[in-house]
Amino acid sequence: MIKYNPNKIERRWQKYWEAEKIYVAPDKAKGKEYFYFLVEFPYPSGNLHIGHWYTFAVSDIAARYWRMLGKNVMYPIGFDAFGLPAENTAIKNNLQPEDWTKNNIAHMTKQLKSMGAAFDWSRMVSTIDPDYYKWTQWIFLQFYKKGLAYRAKTLVNWCPKDKTVLANEQVIDGCCDRCGTQVVQKELTQWMYKITDYADRLIDDLEKVDWPEVTKTAQRNWIGRSRGAEIHFLLPNSTETIKVFTTRADTLYGATYLVLSPEHLLVTKLTKDQYLDAVGKYLEEVKKKSELERTSLEKEKSGVFTGAYAVNPVNNERIPIWVADYVISRYGTGAVMAVPAHDERDFEFAKKYELPFKIVVRPKTDWDFNESAFIEDGVLLDSDDFNGYTSSDAREEIVEKLAQKKLAHRKVNYKLHDWVLSRQRYWGTPIPMIHCGKCGYQPVSEKDLPVKLPRLEDYLPSADGRSPLAKAEEWLKVKCPNCGGEAERETDTMDTFVDSSWYFLRYTDPDNKNAFADPEKIKEWLPVDLYIGGAEHNTMHLLYSRFFTKALCDLGFLDFDEAFTVRRNRGDILGPDGYKMSKSRGNVVDPDDLVTKYGADTVRMYLAFMGPYEQGGPWNAGGIIGVSRFLSRVWTVFNQVDKKEKLPVEKNNILHRTIKKVGEDIENLRFNTGVSELMKLLNELENYELPVSVQKTFLQLLAPFAPHIAEEIWQGILGNKKSIHLEKWPEYDPKLIVEET
RNA sequence: GCCCAGGUGGUGGAAUGGUAUACACGAAGGACUUAAAAUCCUUUGCCCGCAAGGGCUUGCGAGUUCGAGUCUCGCCCUGGGCACCA
């Protein structure tokens, strides 16, 4: 008997499948249910690691299963290939980012093919391809026309090491999510996408999709909608007012002072002469601190009195105006009314600076107001006409009363900010705008797209923050599309999250020269039936893609406004030490070594077997031998010619129960129990002589998990002429299952 | 602090409210072998016991139930997200 040697058979079948084009998903498949199965496309970092296998090879089990069920499955693959790592590595090794990236793509394509995954390579998409980013730019222009892309001065996150702007989503604990350098705030004029226009729909439409609860709550928190009111405090002897945002208008009678953020425009204007020194000194100190230091909760709040007073519109009480660093300038109006008795932060501040307290909401139980603020709802007291009102009624009525005098109105605030998409780096999609001295910014004409990224000898970011593209002199000079005069191209490139916000649309029609995709094809394939990816994209890629989908829908290019019907988060494979795999930690597991040792089928199947797919966990090489043994035993069963006992009839029940269970397991992405069912089945069957029908069924069940060995036995030993991967998923007889239980 | 997810043998993990620990790894013993590897067989939750047998066990403590890993409440711990957002 020939020993099971995966390395001898796997490459051969991979070539065979490719040659036979069995995984190409046709655009026209009469009578078949279309199934778009999307997995987040990888960044071409250079080498496939075990995490990529987990992502693509394990998902592949489901892709193959649905195909066997008779669906027209699209399981596409591509590369999210623009971005900083290419640039940084290229700088270090004196290479061109383009060359480095394209080499990586070629290498990783080879590696991806070695997994034996059922990708439709004919739909491959790469974001650095001018035929692709032409449409990234085209979408930008459509958004620009509708005011969804605009240029404005804004306080941005700036990474001093990468010398570029970062979106809020890319700042983790005050540091750059790429290099970990502490981010600083800088005021710059940047291109932005108006995602805030969609804040409400981005929250409300979460109801429409079947997504993990974690993702939904993460997005709700990130968007941070809060309903409240804007209330105008009057300034004595002035027509000007200070507007504050509050969700607790019911505590208005308890406001004992007012706080402006240090950046508030009225600070210098209001401050009384004898307080100018103190306030000036305070502002200097605040400026010195980084955003991280300022917003740290451990830090004690600090502030200073301006000498000025504001008038509470509800009772004409004069309250002092302070400046304090605990008020955030970019949220709400940058000013708050302080109610120490009913707000924890105001409580802490008022205690420190000995500011007065006024209790206006009666707690249901005994409450020690010397200890802490009572922040829950209750019944009002010391609030004139509103005594006895519940908090929720009072919120409405107080705002209503002030609204009549135009001193208040209802207001909804969001934490979400517009998406700053400009990047001052080289390796990205050029922003298709032209700056003319006379006409200002003008869009590049659609017929001139794509604006190709020029090759640049010196693509290093400059210290002054000017984009590297400013050095491309020839490229830079262009005629103004409006007046025909001398003009310059925009030199910023786009955030790579722009590239990946629409790639799932391009998969449906990757070679289209006239549109980002043919509307007919989009209609056939979209929305995506199942989207699998990592939870790290909860508030980035997934939020941006939803925004793109909604905007493109509103512009009439799509007829749906949620692109991903079902989303499941895949768990992450960590290093054996339990930490995230990284080169610097030296805990990266190389799948190539494992494939050489055990074969692709074993690696795939072991990854599936390790644990629940949505959970992930540390890599543990210990158990892989078990899967390897299992496949060897499968091999032996089909190769052995010894005389054995006939299969007892009752084993049929087990077979049919397994068909049912494995199908359900794959359907629910419970690959680990699917594998164990196959192992149990083999344990039951291996000592008997199996009828051909049982042999076939067993191989069909195995095929999605271990496609190579299944094919080898199917064609090589059973003598079938067509691929096992064109077979139907076996059906079970429910009657047999009922009898058993 | 708030919001999610989770806590089961030595390990990865399994279990529509109904025999907890399936499947696999590891370990121990045995067979084959000059020997080793590979393979096969047996044992393997913990404690007491030579054994027969008995007791305990799903982070901790209560509760609902004929019956709880599973449901409810309160705590502890781990991982993740948000975080002075008024």
The pLDDT, as a whole number, for residue A176 is: 79
% of chain A with per-residue pLDDT over 90: 70
CB A150 within 8 A of CB A133: no
pLDDT band for A175, please (50, 70, 90 cuts). confident
The answer to whether the beta carbon of residue A226 comes closer than 7 angstroms to any atom of strand B is yes
Closest nucleotide to A540 by C1' from CA: B81
The answer to whether the beta carbon of residue A26 comes closer than 7 angstroms to any atom of strand B is no
Angle between helices A50-68 and A97-113 (to 10 degrees): 50
- The tokens of A126 are what? 């790469």
Reference A140, options A487, A591, A492; nearest CA is A492
Closest nucleotide to A325 by C1' from CA: B84
CB A243 within 8 A of CB A265: no
pLDDT tens per residue across span A484-535: 999 999 999 999 999 999 999 999 999 999 999 999 999 999 999 999 999 8
- State which nucleotides on strand B lie below 7 Å from a protein beta carbon: 3-5, 11-15, 22-26, 38-40, 80-86
Instruction: Provide DSSP, A4-27.
Output: --HHHHHHHHHHHHHHHTTT---S
CA distances from A520 to A73, A516, A529, A555, A562 (A): 17, 12, 17, 17, 18
Give dist(CA A51, CA A533) in Å, integer. Answer: 11
Give dist(CA A363, CA A373) in Å, integer. Answer: 10
Window A397-456, strand B contacts by Cβ < 7 Å = 413, 415
CA distances from A254 to A300, A342, A373 (A): 23, 8, 12
Q: What is the 3-state secondary structure (H, E, C) of A206-258?
A: HHHCECCHHHHHHHHHHHCCEEEEEEEEECCCCCCEEEEEECCHHHHHHCCEE
User: At residue A293, does pLDDT exceed 70?
Assistant: no
User: At residue A417, does pLDDT exceed 80?
Assistant: yes
Measured CA A623 to C1' B49 distance, in angstroms: 35
pLDDT tens per residue across span A3-37: 889 998 999 999 999 999 999 999 988 889 999 99
The pLDDT, as a whole number, for residue A291 is: 62
Give dist(CA A34, CA A112) in Å, integer. Answer: 24
The answer to whether the beta carbon of residue A725 comes closer than 7 angstroms to any atom of strand B is no
The answer to whether the beta carbon of residue A222 comes closer than 7 angstroms to any atom of strand B is yes
The complex's ipTM works out to: 0.93
Q: What is the 3-state secondary structure (H, E, C) of A179-214?
A: CCCECEEEEEEEEEECHHHHHHHHHHHHHHCECCHH
Closest nucleotide to A636 by C1' from CA: B39
Measured CA A603 to C1' B24 distance, in angstroms: 14
Q: Which residues contact A606 (CB under 8 A, 6 or more apart)?
A: A598, A623, A624, A626, A627, A628
Q: Which residues contact A609 (CB under 8 A, 6 or more apart)?
A: A623, A626, A627, A671, A672, A675, A676
The answer to whether the beta carbon of residue A216 comes closer than 7 angstroms to any atom of strand B is no
Buried b (16+ CB within 10 A) or exposed e, A565-577: bebbbbbbbbbee
Query: CB atoms < 10 A from the CB of A491, how many?
Result: 21
CB A564 within 8 A of CB A502: no
User: At residue A563, does pLDDT exceed 60?
Assistant: yes
Angle between helices A671-685 and A600-609 (to 10 degrees): 110
Closest nucleotide to A625 by C1' from CA: B25
The answer to whether the beta carbon of residue A303 comes closer than 7 angstroms to any atom of strand B is no
Closest nucleotide to A539 by C1' from CA: B81
pLDDT tens per residue across span A54-113: 999 999 999 999 999 999 999 999 999 998 888 888 888 889 999 999 999 999 999 999
The pLDDT, as a whole number, for residue A296 is: 62
Query: CB atoms < 10 A from the CB of A472, how many?
Result: 21
The answer to whether the beta carbon of residue A242 comes closer than 7 angstroms to any atom of strand B is no
Q: Which residue is nearest to nucleotide B15 (CA to C1')?
A: A673
**Three-class SS state of A699:** helix
The pLDDT, as a whole number, for residue A74 is: 96
User: At residue A124, does pLDDT exceed 60?
Assistant: yes
Closest nucleotide to A326 by C1' from CA: B84
Measured CA A706 to C1' B35 distance, in angstroms: 36
The pLDDT, as a whole number, for residue A738 is: 57
The answer to whether the beta carbon of residue A609 comes closer than 7 angstroms to any atom of strand B is yes
pLDDT band for A740, please (50, 70, 90 cuts). very low
Q: What is the CA radius of gyration of chain A?
A: 32
DSSP bridge partners of A242: A233
Give dist(CA A304, CA A323) in Å, integer. Answer: 5
pLDDT band for A545, please (50, 70, 90 cuts). very high
The answer to whether the beta carbon of residue A334 comes closer than 7 angstroms to any atom of strand B is yes
Give dist(CA A19, CA A708) in Å, integer. Answer: 15
Measured CA A658 to C1' B21 distance, in angstroms: 21
- The tokens of A37 are what? 């199965």
CB A315 within 8 A of CB A398: no
Give dist(CA A242, CA A327) in Å, integer. Answer: 14
Measured CA A200 to C1' B54 distance, in angstroms: 65
pLDDT band for A234, please (50, 70, 90 cuts). very high
CB A264 within 8 A of CB A324: no
Window A532-561, strand B contacts by Cβ < 7 Å = 535-536, 538-539
The answer to whether the beta carbon of residue A622 comes closer than 7 angstroms to any atom of strand B is yes
User: At residue A275, does pLDDT exceed 60?
Assistant: yes
Compare A166 and A540 and report the one with higher pLDDT. A540
The pLDDT, as a whole number, for residue A620 is: 87
The answer to whether the beta carbon of residue A571 comes closer than 7 angstroms to any atom of strand B is no
Indicate the average pLDDT of chain A: 91
The pLDDT, as a whole number, for residue A333 is: 92
The answer to whether the beta carbon of residue A630 comes closer than 7 angstroms to any atom of strand B is yes
Residue A537 C-alpha from the chain's centroid: 2
Q: Which residue is nearest to nucleotide B23 (CA to C1')?
A: A676
User: At residue A741, does pLDDT exceed 50?
Assistant: no
pLDDT tens per residue across span A136-165: 999 999 999 999 999 998 878 888 888 888
pLDDT band for A288, please (50, 70, 90 cuts). confident
The pLDDT, as a whole number, for residue A501 is: 96
- The tokens of A678 are what? 């196959």
Average the pLDDT over each of A105-109, A254-258, A298-302 and give the range with the smallest value. Answer: A298-302
The answer to whether the beta carbon of residue A372 comes closer than 7 angstroms to any atom of strand B is no
Measured CA A682 to C1' B37 distance, in angstroms: 25
Closest nucleotide to A624 by C1' from CA: B25
pLDDT tens per residue across span A399-411: 999 999 999 999 9
Closest nucleotide to A618 by C1' from CA: B12
pLDDT tens per residue across span A449-493: 899 999 988 888 777 778 899 999 899 999 999 999 999 999 999
The answer to whether the beta carbon of residue A610 comes closer than 7 angstroms to any atom of strand B is yes
Q: Give me the mean pLDDT over the A360-364 stretch.
A: 88
The pLDDT, as a whole number, for residue A295 is: 64
pLDDT tens per residue across span A652-696: 889 999 999 999 999 999 999 999 999 999 999 988 888 899 999
Measured CA A404 to C1' B85 distance, in angstroms: 28
User: At residue A555, does pLDDT exceed 90?
Assistant: yes
The answer to whether the beta carbon of residue A214 comes closer than 7 angstroms to any atom of strand B is yes
The answer to whether the beta carbon of residue A623 comes closer than 7 angstroms to any atom of strand B is yes
Measured CA A172 to C1' B83 distance, in angstroms: 12
CB A429 within 8 A of CB A139: no
Closest nucleotide to A297 by C1' from CA: B84
Sheet arrangement for strand A477-479 = A440-443, A433-436, A486-489, A477-479
pLDDT tens per residue across span A598-652: 999 999 999 999 999 998 888 988 899 999 999 999 999 898 767 677 878 788 8
